[in-house]
Structure 1
Amino acid sequence: MHTLIAPQRGFEFAEFEQRTNQLQAQMHAQRLDAVFFTTEPEFRYFSGFKSQFWESPTRPWFLVVPAAGKPIAVVPEIGVAGFEQTWLEDVRSWPSPRPEDDGISLLAATLKSLAGRHHRIGAMLGPETHLRMPAANYAALQQQLSQHQMVDVSSAVRRIRSIKSRAEIEKIRFACQVTAAGFDYLRRHLSAGMTERDACKAMHLEMLRLGADACPYLISASGQGGYDNIIMGPTDRVLDEGDVLIIDTGATFDGYFSDFDRNYGFGRMPAETLRAYDAVYEATEAGLHLAAPGVTTGELWQAMWAVLETSGALGNDVGRMGHGLGMQLTEWPSHVPQGNVVLKPGMVITLEPGMAFAPGRMMVHEENIVITASGCELLHERTWRDMPVIA
């Protein structure tokens, strides 16, 4: 039975101060008087406020970062008490829900009070972002701030968030170790006759027992000799002789994700299926050998694809071969053919080579690593060299 020791929860206040100082340096370079956030990852990253209440779409939440000093929370009254556990001191609130003015005038007033120098305000407006408020509310905010310019800060924020602190890395490492132990547990308890749903449920319960807080992402797919997708399921499909099962999961600990998969075979496996498994394993090896500071995401993609192409890959429908990882299941950057993001120490990324090896059949492999000063380090045990075959 696995025994895993969880790292300390939360962060020292000095870490939030450092994060905020980094953002304020970027704001100074862009002549921004203030930045506001509306989505949970950014809100939590700079404030330390962590609540499951984000699951409710009823109320908006705003965090304002001034050019100097601590962030200011502009939040519904129901959430004020939760900020006693954070490093913030200035918490402004309104009685929400109030559809006719759900915090917009209070947010606008707060931003106006801070943006009198350059009249430039930052927000997350770029790719892979969204504004967690009704479109009409954002239009109303823009109208109330008509004398100010809205500036996209998503590039600066994702660069800051992409470099993980030691404390962040240890949280991700624990989530990854729990996930790896869950896969090992499943290998010992899988049998033909189970359904995809049975398998995922067994693994889910084991990860929770080992210390995961939750498992928001847990998919599976199966089929004779391979599978045709990696984003659906689990279903009630019964696992039988000749099937391949993939499970891809993202467990969390203290708000940080793991994200990797494992493949299992049942009974006699076709030779082409075993060759595909070997190919994605070797492609991952190529990524592990190359990943280091100074390497680009495009070079990483090319190294993995070269192995798959040599192995007869018909294509890669996933569109990328890995991505960033942290407070979100997938973060910037993506490993794409022409990717120009340079890897740096402290980046946590996935390596995810995948290939279509026959019509309607694919094989995907994924591992989680952190970029170190001289290379990279796996955050969990490497997958099995040979596909495990369940008798």
Structure 2
Amino acid sequence: MTAIAENTAPSRGFDQAEFEARLARAQSAMRDARMDAILLTNEPEVRYFTGFHTQFWESPTRPWFVLLPLSGKPIAVIPEIGRAGMEATWIDDIRSWPAPRPADDGVSLLIAALGEMPRRFGRLGVPMGHESLIRMPLSDYLTVIAGAEGLEPVDAAPLLHGLRFIKSSAEIDKIRQACTLTSAAFEALPDLMRAGQSELEICRAFRIDLLRRGADQSPYLIAGSGPGGYDSIIMGPTERLVEEGDVLIIDTGTTYDGYFCDFDRNFAFGRADDAVRQAYRTVFEATEAGFRAARPGATTSELWTAMWQVMEAGGALGNSVGRLGHGLGMELTEWPSNTAEDGTVLAPGAVLTLEPGMEFLPGRQMVHEENIVITDSGAEWLTRRAAPELPVVT
């Protein structure tokens, strides 16, 4: 079947200058943080600095390591199966071993590479904090740290979060493309669904349409439905049949060239009562308020306040999600979170979701989500805006 053309897709991958700029920003931040090197072990961070983009990370068998030195290019310490792929990136120093080798799965190679690092500060950055991951066996990590003489492990998560929070124009183009394809699929969805279908059937048709339009994949596609609202937004899609009077939410993280969109749409089937319509209008207006508050120098907490005030005035009983949006990019959800306490300062290039959600009657929720990018003068929608009134599928 021929793919549906939506627009001119941005080119895949990045120029070497993109990676050089990322590394320069990282090394400047490392000097400020007094780190001699940073150890990277998870997919987004390895890909961010190298361009190594493979689905092979789905296999948990092999660890992968990249070292960011205080000066010079990154060093890859990876299984031999990935060597040819890494050689196609801008990385020159690639050290490999015949993984899997549980007795020494790259540990001695990694310790040797760390041993070559100049000790200026005596500190090794390792992502340790909130929303970070060390993707290697704990016993191997402890062995590496013990063998990295003269290097004290310190938390590099805040540094890495800050770097990845501000996107380049090329990154934003990829996120915008994912948003454009998914917006079009959501707009076409009413013609693909009807009462009597299951959540699974509807989501399957939606996913197929996304792929036809040029999306790479939709690894995150959830749904929830119920009479006059829904009680959960993370457990479906299920085999539940959507009936007249139900509200269905579909939330997807769809990718283009390794970058996510993350937003939802709500649909009523046959009819919608006044409480449901009012709840939808409330979260729609809350998203508008968040968008108006989004500008350089504002904080994620100001976005939260702007959205929550609208929902509170609209009769919200509470919010079970815990936040009203988050960062977005190479991962479905990235740092930071739009909460009352987060306080992250926004700057041009930051990509965020606005996700106001509320319990509008006991056991009944309404959630709405859009994607934006901070610009020099304010914010720009990356998604095509949802309808201001709840769509009704007849």
Whichever residue aligns with residue 200 of structure 1, its letter is C
Contact 2:358/2:366, CA 8 A, preserved across alignment:
yes
Pair 1:219 & 2:222 matched: yes
Deviations 1:98-120 (A, max 9, x none): 10110111101101110433321
Partner of 1:252: 255
Partner of 2:130: 127
Whichever residue aligns with residue 247 of structure 1, its letter is I
Partner of 1:354: 357
Deviation, 1:172, is 0.2
Deviation, 1:260, is 0.1
Deviation, 1:189, is 2.0
Distance in 2 (alpha carbons) for counterparts of 1:299 and 1:28: 31
Contact 2:115/2:149, CA 8 A, preserved across alignment:
no
Distance in 1 (alpha carbons) for counterparts of 2:288 and 2:68: 42
Aligned counterpart in structure 1 of residue 74 of structure 2, from 68, 71, 75: 71
Distance in 2 (alpha carbons) for counterparts of 1:260 and 1:207: 14
Contact 1:115/1:121, CA 8 A, preserved across alignment:
no
Partner of 1:143: 146
How do 1:271-350 and structure 2 match up within 5 A?
Answer: 271-350=274-353
Whichever residue aligns with residue 382 of structure 1, its letter is R
Aligned counterpart in structure 2 of residue 181 of structure 1, from 178, 181, 184: 184
Whichever residue aligns with residue 227 of structure 1, its letter is Y
Deviation, 1:36, is 1.1
Distance in 2 (alpha carbons) for counterparts of 1:367 and 1:380: 6
Deviation, 1:297, is 0.7
Deviation, 1:312, is 0.5
Whichever residue aligns with residue 336 of structure 2, its letter is P
Deviation, 1:2, is 5.6
How do 1:111-126 and structure 2 match up within 5 A?
Answer: 111-126=114-129
Aligned counterpart in structure 1 of residue 166 of structure 2, from 155, 163, 166: 163
Distance in 2 (alpha carbons) for counterparts of 1:144 and 1:118: 17
Deviation, 1:90, is 0.5
Partner of 2:245: 242
Deviations 1:71-114 (A, max 9, x none): 01000011100022211111001111010110111101101110
Partner of 2:104: 101
Of 22-31 and 92-101, deviating more is 22-31
Distance in 1 (alpha carbons) for counterparts of 2:68 and 2:374: 29
Deviations 1:1-48 (A, max 9, x none): 663321100000001001001111111122222111000000000001
Q: What SS does the corresponding residue of 2:102 show, helix, strand or coil?
A: coil
Of all paired residues, the percent bearing the same amino acid is 56
Whichever residue aligns with residue 272 of structure 1, its letter is A
Whichever residue aligns with residue 156 of structure 1, its letter is L
Contact 2:6/2:181, CA 8 A, preserved across alignment:
no
Deviations 1:118-147 (A, max 9, x none): 321111111111110111111111221253
Q: What SS does the corresponding residue of 1:155 show, helix, strand or coil?
A: helix
Distance in 1 (alpha carbons) for counterparts of 2:34 and 2:199: 53
Partner of 2:13: 10
Contact 2:122/2:151, CA 8 A, preserved across alignment:
yes
Distance in 2 (alpha carbons) for counterparts of 1:117 and 1:385: 57
Partner of 1:382: 385
Contact 1:158/1:332, CA 8 A, preserved across alignment:
yes
Q: What SS does the corresponding residue of 1:100 show, helix, strand or coil?
A: helix
Distance in 2 (alpha carbons) for counterparts of 1:142 and 1:278: 54
Runs of at least 5 residues in structure 2 that lack an aligned partner in the other structure: none
Deviation, 1:64, is 0.6
Contact 1:298/1:337, CA 8 A, preserved across alignment:
yes
Deviations 1:181-233 (A, max 9, x none): 11111122221111101110111011101110010000000000000111111
Q: What SS does the corresponding residue of 1:114 show, helix, strand or coil?
A: coil
Q: What SS does the corresponding residue of 2:125 show, helix, strand or coil?
A: strand
Runs of at least 5 residues in structure 1 that lack an aligned partner in the other structure: none
Whichever residue aligns with residue 300 of structure 2, its letter is T
Partner of 2:212: 209
Q: What SS does the corresponding residue of 2:90 show, helix, strand or coil?
A: coil
Whichever residue aligns with residue 55 of structure 1, its letter is E
Contact 1:49/1:86, CA 8 A, preserved across alignment:
yes
Q: What SS does the corresponding residue of 2:218 show, helix, strand or coil?
A: strand
Distance in 2 (alpha carbons) for counterparts of 1:13 and 1:192: 50
Contact 2:286/2:310, CA 8 A, preserved across alignment:
yes
Pair 1:269 & 2:272 matched: yes
Q: What SS does the corresponding residue of 1:355 show, helix, strand or coil?
A: strand
Partner of 1:40: 43
